[in-house]
Amino acid sequence: MMGAAHTESDVDVNKLSQIIKVKSGKRLLWEGYKIDPKTGVKIKNQRWENTNVNFATHVTGEEKQGGCLSDNGECTSLVVDIDDKKIDIKKICEEAWNYDYKVFPFQSPSGRIHLWKFFHTPQPIEVVAKEAKKLERHFKKLGHSTDPGKTQPTETGSQIGINFPFATKEQYPFTPTGTKLNWKQFLHRYRFLNLPLVAAATGMHNPGRTTALLKIAALFEQKQIMHHLDEVINNFGEEYTDIAYINRIKDKKIHEKYKNISAKGIAAAITDIVGFDYTLPAAPDEYKDAGELEIFEHTGLEAIKKRPWLIHGLLLERALTLVVGQPGVGKTMLLHMLAYALATGNLFLAKDVLVRGNVLGLFAEETSNESDIRWCACKQTMGKNDGKFKLYKRGLEHDLKLVKFTKEAAKATEQYQQLRNTIKKHNIKYIVLDPLINFQTGSYDENSNQNMDAYVKNYLIPLAVEMNGAVIAGHHTNKLSMVSSQDNQLLVDNQNALMAARGASSLIGAARFVLALQPMTKKLWEQYFKEHITDGTNFVHYTGLIEAKSNYNMVADDITWLRKDSIDVPTDDGFAESTGSYVITELNKLTKAKNKLKAAQNLVWCKSKLSTIQKLMGDAKDDTITLNSVVLELLPLEPDFADQNINENTIKTKVRRKLENGFSGKEETKDGFVRSGIECDDGYNYWLHRNHGATGAAKVFIRRAIDFKRKNKR
């Protein structure tokens, strides 16, 4: 007969079944003890049954059960049976902690000790089995009696049973000092399995809790997990009632004196808690026999191969291209056009598709019907589809999550593996993801470089490698302007275009190419374009395309203006649906022409001021003067200077911009060279020089040097 059940157990059955992974379809039922009729010795009354372990009846004591610690070749725990006739619990707890702070000593049903170790994620059985045997040998060397037949798991996964904990009020774990933990405290220590300081303080009684709490707070601040501090407080051995002290930690940050707590400091804090000397284990040198890394010499005689371009300057084999822009700017429209071009071979914004292939468009914010409409519009505007390569799609009605994030790690979903299988079956060469953020789930933080790195480098780019093609992703930006107007010139800010992408910077780092879309503003339209456009369009019809990043060539320093045309696509009811399509315009040529004219005007103006600059230069040290000194000298010569209604700073800014533009302008010579600055009859070249490392306020200068090219011609 079994003993009385402890039906008031607070053990969470669901969590226990996750912590201890057991072999399905097998359980060891223990029904107390019986007398062996042959020997007259009391033995365990237990038997195997072909049914699953029932943790619900186990933790109440109704059916005390055991089983095997592996299933399908994986384990989440190991156990070693200590069979000493006389148990010194405190000694064993200290030995277990010093060997591995992740080992939990439990009282066994017979009053002996089971040493359990748990893993947050399933581990291969062969790895865990070796670790279990190592723990068994260690305690045998310490003089303990171990039962090798009960050490679990075994590498073969053989049917060896062990009684599970928490079946009686006695079968609970001990702290390093030999006091019992309750279920809630056990769960807390299990959760913080990788933080020995937290593990040591779990179930801790006075004295010393205040100091321990201070150092744990410092450690949590260091790891940016301060929101877990209350859990530490609630899992001490008795209620911690010093609310004022807790508030001093949270509000006054009194723990910050330990903010740089080191491994040595953590070991000292643990020593204070457990009452015996403790040293943190050194990281295992698992790679000591790894040998040398294979390296390859560059001799200069190698046959250089062409880069595997797919669209020159935009797409490269095995790489990620980003298309970024504000919501509603037209990213999805552009991505549909790109997908259509890759499958059909039609030009993409005047660029040749070098390698065609099957395309899979994953559009999380558009229905599949919308993709059909957009691609029919592409056929009208870009050219026919000969059907040699396929366009595949999934829309918002087909939920797709490729990566699941937890606080500890990122893991591929089942759909990710299904996608890989689909790539292989349908010979997909290009995948379009729009928007990027929609294909993950769980505790993902867009601003975390660690999360973004894992998402992009571990899961998305490997798809491009597997396809020997490219992944193209749409991504939202912050409302950061990528163009500016300076001295009546339209300037592209490539850096702003690059950094406008929302979230962690590691995304931009991982992408080989970044294309940015900038909506035309009313101000830019009226200042630069309105008077030249007579076809009835206005600023809402135009979007600027900017090359924000290319890892393999210089990005263009201008903007390509695209016009959004409305296209009617016939529907099956005899009517039509309207959608959009981009076409290249001549606006960028207009911008270039105006900028070139303005630059030429500034150059002429600067040349007319050279006499003033020569005078200021005089015997200047290092042939250098500050730009500001030139501005102050030229200021009174400006026609606007006498106008009381114009702010002096406005005139200064205008003069400064003219000087900066004129002296840093570039000009292509007949022999193909580009020269900077201005040549002068005095035999010198004058140019703008920026020195961001200079001390003091002045960072911009005008410098001169002898024009050796002209001197040698004489």
pLDDT of 578 reads 95
For 317-369, write each residue's pLDDT tens digit.
999 999 999 988 999 999 999 999 999 999 999 999 999 999 999 999 999 99
Residues in the chain: 714
Please name the residue ranges forming H helices in 456-586: 461-467, 494-499, 506-510, 522-524
pLDDT of 709 reads 45
Contact 707/679 with Cβ under 8 angstroms?
Answer: yes
d(CA 26, CA 12): 21
d(CA 572, CA 251): 66
For 561-572, write each residue's pLDDT tens digit.
999 999 999 999
CB atoms within 10 A of CB 256: 13
pLDDT of 292 reads 81
Task: Give the pLDDT mean for 690-713.
Answer: 67
Whether 372 has a pLDDT exceeding 50, the answer reads: yes
Whether 708 has a pLDDT exceeding 50, the answer reads: no
pLDDT of 713 reads 40
For 130-155, write each residue's pLDDT tens digit.
999 999 999 999 999 999 888 999 88
d(CA 608, CA 632): 16
Task: Give the pLDDT mean for 499-507.
Answer: 85
Secondary structure string (H, E, C) spanning 655-706: HHHHHHHHHHCEEECCCCCEEECEECCCCEEEEEEECCCCCCCCCEEEEEEE
Q: Under 8 Å CB-to-CB from 115, ≥6 apart: which residues? A: 79, 80, 82, 96, 103, 104, 105, 106, 135, 139
CB atoms within 10 A of CB 381: 15
Contact 464/470 with Cβ under 8 angstroms?
Answer: yes
Contact 220/259 with Cβ under 8 angstroms?
Answer: no
d(CA 370, CA 372): 5
Phi, psi (5° rounding) for residue 15? -65, -40
Phi, psi (5° rounding) for residue 65? -125, 160
DSSP structural state of residue 219: H
pLDDT of 290 reads 67
pTM score over 0.75: no
pLDDT of 660 reads 80
| Confidence tier at 284 by pLDDT (50, 70, 90) | low
Contact 606/688 with Cβ under 8 angstroms?
Answer: no
Q: Long-range contacts of range 91-97, CB-CB < 8 Å, 24 or more positions apart?
A: 92/144, 93/174, 93/175, 93/176, 93/177, 93/178, 94/176, 94/177, 94/178, 94/274, 94/276, 95/139, 95/142, 96/176, 97/176, 97/200, 97/274, 97/278
pLDDT of 687 reads 83
Lowest mean pLDDT among 34-43, 388-397, 455-464, 506-515: 34-43
Whether 469 has a pLDDT exceeding 60, the answer reads: yes
Lowest mean pLDDT among 248-252, 499-503, 707-711: 707-711
Contact 581/337 with Cβ under 8 angstroms?
Answer: yes
pLDDT of 118 reads 95
In the sheet that holds 391-394, the strands lie side by side as: 391-394, 358-363, 428-434, 470-476, 319-325, 513-519, 542-550, 560-570, 576-584
Q: Under 8 Å CB-to-CB from 382, ≥6 apart: which residues? A: 337, 340, 341, 344, 346, 347, 581
d(CA 385, CA 341): 9
d(CA 22, CA 13): 13
d(CA 171, CA 501): 55
Phi, psi (5° rounding) for residue 43? -130, 165
pLDDT of 601 reads 77
Contact 492/456 with Cβ under 8 angstroms?
Answer: no
Contact 75/123 with Cβ under 8 angstroms?
Answer: yes
* Percentage, residues of the chain above pLDDT 70: 90
- How far is the CA of 526 from the CAs of 486, 521, 535, in angstroms? 15, 9, 15
Is the CA virtual torsion 305, 307, 312, 318 positive or negative?
Answer: positive
Task: Quote the Cα angle for 517-520-526, to 5°.
Answer: 160
Where do we find the tokens 């600023």?
Answer: 539
Q: Which two tokens stand for residue 686?
A: 């004058």
Phi, psi (5° rounding) for residue 289? -105, 25
Lowest mean pLDDT among 105-109, 227-231, 523-527: 523-527
Lowest mean pLDDT among 105-109, 246-250, 524-528: 524-528
Q: Which two tokens stand for residue 633?
A: 């000298």
Whether 712 has a pLDDT exceeding 60, the answer reads: no
d(CA 643, CA 518): 38
- How far is the CA of 614 from the CAs of 29, 606, 609, 623, 681, in angstroms? 101, 12, 9, 10, 11
Where do we find the tokens 């009053």?
Answer: 111
| Confidence tier at 287 by pLDDT (50, 70, 90) | low
Lowest mean pLDDT among 262-271, 363-372, 678-687: 678-687
Q: Under 8 Å CB-to-CB from 29, ≥6 apart: which residues? A: 46, 47, 48, 49, 63, 64, 65
Tally the C-alpha atoms within 13 A of residue 388's C-alpha that lie toward its C-beta. 11
CB atoms within 10 A of CB 416: 20
The three-class DSSP label of residue 389 is: coil
Tell me the average pLDDT of the chain: 87
d(CA 26, CA 40): 30
